[in-house]
Chain A
Amino acid sequence: MRGNLRVLGIESTAHTFSASVVGEREGVITNAKDVYLPPEGSGIHPAEAADHHLSVAARVVREALDEAGAQGLDDVDAVAYSMGPGLGPCLRVGAVTARALSLASGKPLVAVNHAVGHIELGCLLTGARAPLVLLISGGHTMVLAHSNGVWRVLGETLDLTLGQLLDQIGRHVGFASPCGRRIEEAAARSSRYLRLPYTVKGNDVSFSGVLTAAKRLVDGGAPPEDVFYSVQETAFAITTEVTERALAFTGARELLVVGGVAANRRLSEMLRKMAERHEASVMVVPPQFSGDCGAQIAWTGLLAYRAGESLAGVAESVVRQSWRLDTVRTPWRA
Chain B
Amino acid sequence: MELIYRGAEADVFKGGWCDRPAVYKVRKPLTYRLPELDGLIRSQRTSHEAQIIHQSRGAGVPAPWLYYVSPEEALLVMEFVEGERLKTVLMDPAMTGRRARELGAEFGRDIARLHAAGIMHGDLTTSNVIVGGGRLTLIDFGLAIRSQRLEDQAVDLRLIKETVTGAHNGVSKPFMRSLLAGYSEVLGGTRTAAAARKLAEIERRGRYARVE
Please give the residue numbers on chain A whose beta carbons come within 8 Å of chain B beta carbons, in ascending order: 84-85, 139-140, 145, 147-148, 152-158, 161, 193, 198, 200-204, 233-234, 237, 240-241, 244-245, 247-250, 269-271, 273-274, 277-278, 322-325, 327
Contact = CB atoms under 8 A, between A and B. Distances in A.
Given A201-B122, A201-B143, A202-B124, A153 B6 contact: no
Given A147-B167, A201-B143, A322-B211, 13 more contacts: A140-B207, A152-B165, A154-B163, A193-B37, A202-B155, A202-B159, A203-B162, A204-B159, A240-B32, A241-B9, A241-B30, A249-B125, A323-B208
A234 B37 contact: yes
B122 A248 contact: no
B34 interface: yes
Given A147-B167, A248-B7, A274 B32 contact: yes
A299 B97 CA distance: 40
Given A201-B122, A201-B155, A277-B6, A153 B36 contact: no
B210 A327 contact: yes
B8 interface: yes
B31 interface: yes
Nearest to B172: A148
Nearest to B38: A237
Nearest to A142: B207
Consensus secondary structure, chain B interface: loop
A163 B37 CA distance: 22
B33 interface: yes
Given A198-B37, A202-B155, A322-B208, A248 B8 contact: yes
Contact of A202 (B31, B143, B208, B211): B143
A327 to B, nearest CB: 7
Contacts of B7: 248
Given A249-B125, A278-B6, A327-B210, A145 B32 contact: no
B134 interface: no
Interface string B22-47: 00000000111110110001000000
Give the top 9 A-B pairs by smallest Cβ distance, nearest first.
A270-B32, A202-B159, A245-B8, A244-B8, A273-B32, A152-B166, A322-B208, A85-B208, A248-B8
Contacts, number: 98
Given A202-B155, A233-B37, A234-B37, A147 B166 contact: yes
B94 interface: no
A157 B41 CA distance: 20
Contacts of B8: 241, 244-245, 247-249
Max chain A C-beta neighbours (<10 A), residue from B31, B155, B162? B162
Consensus secondary structure, chain A interface: mixed
B93 interface: no
A206 to B, nearest CB: 10
B36 A249 contact: no
Given A198-B41, A201-B155, A322 B210 contact: yes
B165 A161 contact: no
Nearest to B31: A273
A152 B8 CA distance: 20
Given A202-B155, A248-B7, A274-B32, A156 B206 contact: yes
Contact of B206 (A152, A233, A241, A324): A324
Given A161-B207, A245-B8, A153 B32 contact: no
Nearest to B33: A237
A322 B8 CA distance: 32
B128 to A, nearest CB: 10
Contacts of A148: 169
A202 B37 contact: no
B143 A249 contact: no
